[in-house]
Amino acid sequence: MANSEFSIHNSELAQPQPRPYRIIISGGGTGGHIFPAVAIANELRRRQPDAEILFVGANGRMEMTRVPEAGYRIVGLDIAGLQRRLTPQNLLFPMKVFRSVRKAGKLLEEFRPDAVVGVGGYASAPVLLAATSRNIPCLIQEQNSYAGLVNKLLSRRVDRICVAYEGMSKFFPADKLVVTGNPVRTEIASGSRAEALQFFGLNPAKKVLLVIGGSLGARTLNEATAAALPLLRAAGVQLLWQTGKLYYSQAAQQAAPFRADNLQALEFVQRMDLAYAAADVVVSRAGALSVSELCLTGKPSILVPSPNVAEDHQTKNAQALVNNDAALLISDAEAPARLYDEALRLLADEARQQQLREHIRTLAHPNATTTIVDELLKLIK
């Protein structure tokens, strides 16, 4: 009897333990796709420390360096988007898609994921096509208020669609939609103003304008800002001007005579939490990630959408805020003439700043990443 009891007990102990989750996250091309993808991976890893996470990107795109920097493994596909004009590369597009779908299929068979996440961009299409054809649970995350082409085409094949804006049923099946907001680092809103002023060497008695043009920079914003430096000095306004790496050398020379007035040209802002904390007003492009950060930090903002993006989606992102009286919008074409008159007017109007702060905060989704991972785990379970 004792041996029998021991055998039963030992058999119970020997039951196989469930293996760690395996998740593939696909997409990229821009920071607006990559940073949300990494935020999702980080939240997965926080909850499931032993989860195996594999990224799939497009060879030659920025995810191939940014994802490893964040501590994750990535595999590249030889895939690129269609050009808007007739080019020899477009003739190769069907073959690249076919080869990428086949490679994605092999990856799925080797890695055996429990679910696949697509964040938009070239690489997400072949992975999601291969995954949905194998009945692997799939979730896509759409960052913009105007849906990307890949996500629209794949929306009927996937199981769940996490979006940042209301009213997305005009692009996607309504029964699959969950309004989650965009994954944003919550620490972006935790900066101390006192620490920020000290960090940037700013005068607490003067207003601060923050100008953000993205990691590469924005020509229109940089040219308008350079022209407005004497105006800002005369108004006693301090400036944190994130120029981007392409424009920094020229901008630094233009700002040098104004350094004593705290008009600072910065190639890249490592501590964005402190930059937001220091700012009274922000001038920014209207990429999905930037808009989500502005909502989370509650900053009065003037948005200047880039005209060089697919489907003019930045204007639609900005308009979603304007429709809620949560930001001001100036077109790229109007910016050289109007931007800094509007910025100085807003800096001088405390009541309007407070109104914009209150309205933009109502659009924030501080728990976006958590909610997206909740939806993903539901699909697996």
Binding residues for UDP-N-acetyl-alpha-D-glucosamine: 30-32, 144, 185, 215, 288-293, 314
Contact (CB, 8 A) for 62 and 56: no
Gap between the Cα atoms of 249 and 258, Å rounded: 15
Instruction: For the chain, give the number of residues.
Output: 381
Instruction: Please name which of 235, 308, 238, 299 lies closest in space to residue 272, comparing C-alpha atoms.
Output: 299
Distance from chain centroid for Cα 83? 23
Euclidean distance between CA atoms 80 and 29, whole angstroms = 9
In DSSP terms, 256 is beta-bridged to none
Q: The tokens of 95 are what?
A: 């073959």
DSSP per-residue letters across 75-115: EEE---PPPSS--HHHHHHHHHHHHHHHHHHHHHHHH--SE
Q: How far is CA 244 from the centre of its chain?
A: 17
In sequence order, what are the beta bridge partners of 115? 23
| Contact criterion met (CB below 8 Å) for 79 and 96 | yes
Pick left, alpha or beta for residue 27 (phi over 0 → left; psi -120 to 50 → alpha; otherwise beta): left
Residues of each annotated binding site: 30-32, 144, 185, 215, 288-293, 314
